[in-house]
Structure 1
Amino acid sequence: MSLSIAVVIPTLNEERVLSRTLLALRQLRFDEVVLVDGGSRDQTVAIAQGQLPGLSLQPAKMLEAEQGRAPQMNAGARTTRSDVLLFLHADTLLPPETRTEIERVLENPKYVGGRFDVRFEDDRGWAWLISRLINWRSRWSGIATGDQALFVRRSAFDDLGGFADVPLMEDIELTRRLKRMGSFAALRATVTTSFRRWQQQGTLRTILQMWLLRFLYWMGVPPRILQHWYGTIR
């Protein structure tokens, strides 16, 4: 089964990690690649523009959009025409078998999308434990986060109206709605991502903060209130 795949990458001050991600992406030869910047103040845009030629089978694009992962990813998705949308964080590397795995899953019409397992670059200690907990929780709940490289059929994404206009939890909200439409695959193939976010504020503090935010979200606290609280405690 041959499906066209568009990769959408939201960016914001990613100069330290973006070049490596794009170099790895170039080897996978996806049909479309769209980067959507939310107002970077570093060299992110220049790095991206320098690597656009030959990045995908169709000419790769660099856009600007309102800051926020949801509006940035929605803006990028609207410019593509591929059968499948793959949303990738700027610090995340896809495995070589990405296209094959996506096509294998979506050959079955019951699946509307899916996600990959995740590991961190320095896969020891806290990083090892956190990645295993993320994958276990996602496999048990059927809910995924953006670190796991979400992919979705365009038809399903369009039917849902894209990502909800929320400042946090846009990935969880999307997968919750997708599950009502069909099955959501939890692939064993693994993406590799940076551990930087967990280390910046202290690993244990970040773990507790993330768990609390998700618990409050499941209890019905609106994402905009969570964003205000999240900004206050950082």
Structure 2
Amino acid sequence: MPGDGGKIAVVIPALNEAEHLPATLASLREGGALIGEIIVADGGSDDATCDIARAAGAVVIAAPRGRGAQIAAGVAASREQWLLILHADTVLAPGWCVGVRRAIASGKCFAYYGRLRFASADPRARIVEKLADWRSRFLGLPYGDQALLIPRALLDLIGGMPFLPLMEDVALARALRRDRLAPMDVIAMTDASAYMRDGWFMRSARNMWRLARFFAGADPEVLAARYRR
């Protein structure tokens, strides 16, 4: 049963995340004995990402560049029966350990997502957060920056992590379906620099357009290339 595992493996895909990774790893210290392993799946960083991860006690593995492939490599290298997939620029707010333990203790074969918060006092951030909550609850489409807790048995059941460079979180949510997704009492505090740079509503509109194109069958490689510009 999924609830039988007492520990989690934290899987973090990373690429040149030396600026953000220290805070992300620091937020995991609260987990204590709950965390069996932290695996940073690196896509070829040329900054201090790998050194920072090792210094914090994480296992660093080399993975093909692309978030889906990196997460899949991290999952394959892990041992625990519960997996917490976490972006390198996402900090878990204090108290997250309690929320994760409750989800595991439920004994349900569900995937659980956190509540998105941006590291910004801008009131527009609160609007985007509410839209993310609505998207997650009513469309069954939580994004990767919300953190995802999933039992290995369920991930195996749906065929594993999609090998996509972008939209891997959406593809995973679609494979899980709404009836196997549930919120957990965990706040995922995510870097807001991209929204501050591009504009809160412009960035959100671009994300929705990208999502629509993905649903319409656009090549994820093309979407990823344009996303990185």
Q: TM-score, normalised by structure 1?
A: 0.87
1:22-45 alpha-carbon deviations (Å, 9 max, x no partner): 122122221111011111121111
RMSD of aligned C-alpha atoms?
2.0
Aligned-partner Cα distance in 1 for 2:121–2:112: 23
1:189 paired residue number: 186
Match of 1:218 among 215, 219, 225: 215
2:13 paired residue number: 10
Match of 1:45 among 39, 43, 50: 50
Match of 2:70 among 69, 72, 81: 72
**Cα offset, 1:228, TM superposition:** 4.4
CA contact (8 A) 1:10 1:38 kept: yes
User: Structure 2 counterpart of 1:6, which letter?
Assistant: A
**Cα offset, 1:106, TM superposition:** 3.9
CA contact (8 A) 1:111 1:184 kept: no
Over 3 Å counting, the alpha-carbon distance change for 1:99 and 1:50 in structure 2 is: same
Count, aligned residues: 224
Partner SS for 1:39:
coil
1:122 paired residue number: 120
2:40 paired residue number: 35
Match of 1:25 among 24, 28, 37: 28
CA contact (8 A) 2:164 2:220 kept: yes
1:130-168 alpha-carbon deviations (Å, 9 max, x no partner): 111111111111121101101111011122332212221
Aligned-partner Cα distance in 2 for 1:172–1:27: 29
- Aligned pairs for 1:17-166 (under 5 A) are 17-29=20-32, 30-52=35-57, 60-166=58-164
CA contact (8 A) 2:92 2:186 kept: no
The range that moved more, 105-114 or 203-212, is 105-114
Over 3 Å counting, the alpha-carbon distance change for 1:140 and 1:79 in structure 2 is: same
User: Structure 1 counterpart of 2:55, which letter?
Assistant: G
CA contact (8 A) 2:128 2:200 kept: no
**Cα offset, 1:169, TM superposition:** 0.6
Aligned-partner Cα distance in 2 for 1:65–1:4: 24
Q: TM-score, normalised by structure 2?
A: 0.88
Over 3 Å counting, the alpha-carbon distance change for 1:227 and 1:11 in structure 2 is: closer
2:206 paired residue number: 209
% identical aligned pairs: 34
Aligned-partner Cα distance in 2 for 1:160–1:173: 11
Aligned-partner Cα distance in 1 for 2:154–2:185: 23
Unaligned runs of 5+ in 1: 53-59
The range that moved more, 154-163 or 74-83, is 154-163
User: Structure 1 counterpart of 2:17, which letter?
Assistant: E
Relative contact order, higher structure (CA 8 A, sep 6+): 2
